[in-house]
Structure 1
């Protein structure tokens, strides 16, 4: 599936979705490599709650936003006209709702939190970015560094992947989500996560959720984030966030997903 699709060939983040039949984890980690994608999601439909697991070539991830969106779109395709448009899902130790509308797939991304981190100078050095505002650690399941930059500084970024992986590991971060304003509540962004085997991600929905949660502290917001331009896989992700107090926000993510295509 092309998650976070822009309704045109060659857009979105290619993601493998597998009907989970009890594969070993080492076999799951091979799927992204064999499919030629960065991420694979495995859906266990044996019970009333669909359980999702996410893998890159480097191993299992606790969560994956664009993988969840891709899985929801495939669940609809697997229903084969049965009419289901909402499911109970489980991942990262929680149950949540997800479904489809005319605008695409959506799911409840849960609560996001953020904080001002310390000791991230090595991360910024490896990233090669000059922040244009406060740098925050934020996330739903695992923190990543949110780094605002000037619009003209986003495209030329060329991080040292090895140094960035080491610095993020030392700081306990998934990676770096670098973003720039592109309009009213619209942003361009790039996500670098070499620690999990993804030097750059074409679409990272959970990072969009983290950014929306930060922006929602003064009231509900809806943002649109474009990614993947430099990877020739342009993607687009929407997030709606509402504050719930204590620096937390509840976020709903949505995006279009391209038509499914068989790998075999």
Structure 2
């Protein structure tokens, strides 16, 4: 991560909040800090696997690691920062694996994560950022017909995403670009996929509907290299909510 111009990109971005997924780090493996930023890391029990992090200019009221169910809290997949009038949650959703070998667990995760987010939303609005490992609709990947039953585009995973939105959340990118095609955030390393823009949109900012009017833009930075993913960005006016 730090060897692929991450630090330069981080500094130039000047983001208020910077969320990372699949960090694959254990505590003490990297010395990564930035002036004026607080950092929070959630590590997986298993070395070299999963993990999330948040860097923020704004010290939170509280920090939570994981969700309410212990079975989901050993892979470092969720961090929640609480502020006066909103929560920021970063998520790295489990992959269903080839032949959907982990789909049963994935669906349990989806239900429990949705319950967790809805419970937060009942207290104050939520901003969710993460690699959610699902392309919601056919517009969100290059080859939907060929991927219909593949991990990340199974009917079950897509239905879970639809259900989450129905609980009062908005997909920020589709709010601004409901019909835009060819907008992807992940490309396979195989088959020259990125050069051909044969990608998937699986990285999202979702916001509680109560915050929808405060969004000003949502961007996919497909020109930023260094990973099979690219950064996604949300600009939202939460000045009054800090």
Q: Does the pair score TM above 0.5?
A: no
TM-score, with normalisation over the residues of structure 1? 0.27
TM-score, with normalisation over the residues of structure 2? 0.29
